[in-house]
Amino acid sequence: MPDRSQASLSPRPVSAGAPGTAPNMDAEQPAVEFRDIDIAYGKFVAVRDFSLSIRKGSFVTLLGPSGCGKTTILRSIAGLVDISGGQIMIDGRRVDDVPIYKRNIGLVFQSYALFPHKSVFDNVAFGLKYRNVPKPEIARRVGQALDMVRLPGSEKKLPSQLSGGQQQRIALARAIVFEPQVLLLDEPLSALDANMREEMRVEIKKIQKATGITAIFVTHDQEEALSMSDRIVVMNAGSVEQIGTPEEVYERPATAFVADFLGKANMLAGTVSRSDGQIAVTLAAGQTVHVTSPRPLAPGSKVTVVVRSQKLSVGPAAGGNRLSGRVVSTSYLGGSAIYEIDFGGKTSIRANAPINGRIVREGEIIEVGFDPSGCVLLDENGQRIS
């Protein structure tokens, strides 16, 4: 293990080369790379053909439903679970055979997992003592880490004297104090209440940016993923569905699963009725909508039109595609409202629209509109037609 005891917990450039050198190979070397990994628990394959390359200093989120393999992947980086196929590289080095204690990785879990009878100082110092860092250096670095998580002077406290959010900050300080190559965060915010979660989102991002650490974050909360990540890996049943920036996965979902999991998009099943520049799709309830497509589609093809609820405007000024239906529920959210609108033929739409003058009540007939370029088309197999 390299001697990192002289390194300091200070802001550092994301991927700078050594002084005086041309941009070096290091800048391009991924911090973490998975190459076609498989992980099985006995006969059950929890992760299949998982490939992902993570840039140094970036914040990547694994997002997916319970049981899709997110924790399993984190555990494989830390060496807590064996992979049955493929390779994992950290800083260009194969780690499959490196034992846990030699991997230089920081971990933060959902439950704070602090040592309850140890002081904050001893909790944070743990990784440094373990690495035989000299005492004065330990004190300095623990102090710096506590400053960074905005709990300076808390060295003597016990975890039980801290709130949930504060305990999670200490867990974070403990994970970053020895400047790990990678920081793994497994649903670190899920035990916190809504306000604290939002605050900690911002906090974690700030610390990650300031230290330039490479972070892999796990959540099944789409808002967390969208607001914090440089890139999101959407997973389903042990496999990758899509990898992209938050905008890409939200605006251009690659599959029906992604469209549904990220924000419950409206999915309107229909049949292509005409294809000349724009695609005309006849919906199950009989209405026709128009969608922009980069290529023509054979009339008769079964497709799904995916429209985000925020892309729908409600009221007579609605442009492009216009549909009218009956409001079956209204949820007032302050500046906007969510309407569920029934179009007949088992077709309903959720619209999240600003309140223009008045709230539309249940039972009213309203017009909803969306732009032909504001939606995505999926084919019969739920794959985006690109």
Ligand X SMILES: Nc1ncnc2c1ncn2[C@@H]1O[C@H](COP(=O)(O)OP(=O)(O)OP(=O)(O)O)[C@@H](O)[C@H]1O
Query: Which residues of this protein are in contact with ligand X, per CB under 6 A?
Result: 41, 44, 46, 64, 66-72, 220
User: How many Å apart are CA 100 and CA 130, to the nearest integer?
Assistant: 13
* Phi and psi torsions of 95, nearest 5°: -115, 0
Which window, 66-74, 113-121, 172-180, 254-262, contacts Mg ion (CB under 5 A)?
Answer: 66-74
Out of Mg ion, ligand X, none, which partner does residue 347 contact, by CB within 5 to 8 A per kind? none
Distances (CA, A) of 317 to 330, 366, 369: 20, 11, 8
User: How many Å apart are CA 315 and CA 322, to the nearest integer?
Assistant: 10
Whichever of 68 and 366 has its CB closer to ligand X, that residue is 68
Minimum Å distance from CB 40 to ligand X? 9
User: How many Å apart are CA 215 and CA 181, to the nearest integer?
Assistant: 9
Whichever of 71 and 336 has its CB closer to Mg ion, that residue is 71
Whichever of 82 and 137 has its CB closer to ligand X, that residue is 82
Question: What is the three-state SS of 38-75?
Answer: EEEECCEEEEEEEEEEECCCCEEEEECCCCCCHHHHHH
Minimum Å distance from CB 255 to Mg ion? 22
Which window, 65-73, 206-214, 363-371, 377-385, contacts Mg ion (CB under 5 A)?
Answer: 65-73
Q: Is 1 helix (H, G, I), strand (E, B) or coil?
A: coil
Q: Does 71 bind Mg ion (CB under 5 A)?
A: yes
Select from 172, 161, 167, 249 the least CA-distant residue to 211. Answer: 172
Out of Mg ion, ligand X, none, which partner does residue 103 contact, by CB within 5 to 8 A per kind? none
Minimum Å distance from CB 76 to ligand X? 10
Sign of torsion, CA 284 286 290 296? positive
Whichever of 44 and 101 has its CB closer to Mg ion, that residue is 44
Whichever of 71 and 242 has its CB closer to Mg ion, that residue is 71
Select from 296, 319, 314, 337 the least CA-distant residue to 373. Answer: 319
Q: Which residue is nearest to Mg ion (CB)?
A: 71
Out of Mg ion, ligand X, none, which partner does residue 44 contact, by CB within 5 to 8 A per kind? ligand X
Which window, 28-36, 68-76, 223-231, 352-360, contacts Mg ion (CB under 5 A)?
Answer: 68-76
The H or E element that residue 271 is part of is: strand 266-276
Q: Which residues contact Mg ion (rule: CB under 5 A)?
A: 71
